[in-house]
Structure 1
Amino acid sequence: MLNVFVVSLKRSVHRREKISKEMAEKNISFTFFDAVDGSLGIPELALDYDYAKRLWLTSGYMPSKGELGCYASHYALWVKCLEMGEPIVVCEDDITLSENASSTLSLALEKVQHYGFLRLEEVELGSPSVPVEDLGSSTISLMKDNYGGLRSYAISPKAAMRLVKHKWYFPVDCFVGANYIHGQYSYQLSPCLVESHGQYESTIQEPKVYSKSRTPIYRKPSRELYTLYKKIMLSLMYWKKRKELKVR
Structure 2
Amino acid sequence: MIAALKTLPAFVISLSRTPARLAAFRTLNAQIGLDIEHFEGTDGQRIQLHKLVKWGKITETANYKPGMIGSALSHGALWEKAVEIGSPILVFEDDVRLRRDFVAQAAALLAEAGDFDIVMFGFNTDHPVCAGLFPGCDGLVSFSLPYPKPEQMEAFAGATERPALLPLRGMFGGCAYAISPKGAAALLKACFPLDSRPVQFSEGMRPFPAFSLNGMMNTAYRKLDAYIAFPPIALSPNDQKATTTGGIAAGMKA
- Partner SS for 2:13: strand
Corresponding residue for residue 139 of structure 1: 164
The aligned runs of 1:53-132 (5 Å cut-off) are: 54=62, 62-111=63-112, 113-122=114-123, 124=125, 126-130=128-132
The answer on whether the counterparts of 2:21 and 2:95 sit within 8 Å (CA) in structure 1 is: yes
Corresponding residue for residue 214 of structure 2: 173
TM-score under structure 2 length normalisation: 0.68
Distance 1:211 1:179 in 2: 20
The answer on whether the counterparts of 1:89 and 1:109 sit within 8 Å (CA) in structure 2 is: no
Corresponding residue for residue 227 of structure 2: 187
Q: Identity, % of aligned pairs?
A: 23
1:195-218 deviations in whole A, cap 9, x for unaligned?
443256212x12454797x6xxxx
Corresponding residue for residue 222 of structure 1: none
Query: Offset of 1:96 from its aligned partner?
Result: 1.3
The answer on whether the counterparts of 1:142 and 1:186 sit within 8 Å (CA) in structure 2 is: yes
Corresponding residue for residue 50 of structure 1: 59
Distance 2:95 2:181 in 1: 25
The answer on whether the counterparts of 2:12 and 2:36 sit within 8 Å (CA) in structure 1 is: yes
Distance 1:156 1:113 in 2: 11
1:104-147 deviations in whole A, cap 9, x for unaligned?
33335545551211111147554332357xxx94421012223x
Change (3 A) 1:116 1:76: same
Q: Is 1:31 aligned to residue 56 of structure 2? A: no
Q: How many residues align?
A: 199
Please list every run of 5 or more consecutive structure 1 residues that lacks an aligned counterpart in the other structure: 55-61, 215-248
Distance 1:82 1:108 in 2: 22
The aligned runs of 1:201-212 (5 Å cut-off) are: 201-203=242-244, 205-207=245-247, 209=250
Query: Offset of 1:8 from its aligned partner?
Result: 0.5
1:60-94 deviations in whole A, cap 9, x for unaligned?
xx322211111100100100111111111111101
Q: Which amino acid aligns with 2:65?
A: S
The answer on whether the counterparts of 1:81 and 1:156 sit within 8 Å (CA) in structure 2 is: yes
The answer on whether the counterparts of 1:45 and 1:72 sit within 8 Å (CA) in structure 2 is: no
> Aligned-pair RMSD on alpha carbons?
2.8
Distance 1:14 1:139 in 2: 33
1:24-54 deviations in whole A, cap 9, x for unaligned?
22222111110000101236555421234x3
- Partner SS for 1:26: coil
Please list every run of 5 or more consecutive structure 2 residues that lacks an aligned counterpart in the other structure: 1-5, 135-160, 196-209
- Partner SS for 1:198: coil
TM-score under structure 1 length normalisation: 0.69
